[in-house]
Structure 1
Amino acid sequence: MANPRPLDLDALRLSGIAKGLISSINDIDDHNFLARGLQSVPVPLQSRMARKYIDRYNQKRRVASSVQIHGYAALLPG
């Protein structure tokens, strides 16, 4: 895809909490992946699954940024 676009969350069968959590994701691929996956999950479980996904997403980002910071620190003299 040349220009991926976020899915229209109002067109999917999602709870309001799930829509809010999905909207907080900046990466369009992750946004669309979670939206498509959650539409097939029963509404009462959507917010729980969305929160778990976001926790893992944030954890991966923290580890990646930590690796970058430590990698750059190793290149600095002194």
Structure 2
Amino acid sequence: GEEEEREIADSEIVDVKIVKAEIAVMKGIKEEREKRDGKKITTIKSSQSTLRMSKGKEKAVEYEENKVWM
């Protein structure tokens, strides 16, 4: 019950930290591409496809990417 839920929550917090680091890298790559190409790139390969993730991590990535890109 409660112990199990807490364990999942803790692992998700760690995952979000990892995901944030990955997104920072992806954002840097996106900015470099924009500078190089001299135009705004509207699509970027999702970091989801470059990371092997649990469902919890996928959800964290979607949430964080929406905050970064939108």
User: What's the TM-score bracket when you normalise by the shorter of the two chains?
Assistant: 0.3 to 0.5
User: Please, what TM-score do these two structures have when normalized by structure 1?
Assistant: 0.38
Q: Counting helix residues as a fraction of each chain, which structure ranks higher?
A: 2
Rg comparison, structure with higher value: 1
Higher relative CO (CA 8 A, sep ≥ 6), structure 1 or 2?
2
User: Please, what TM-score do these two structures have when normalized by structure 2?
Assistant: 0.41
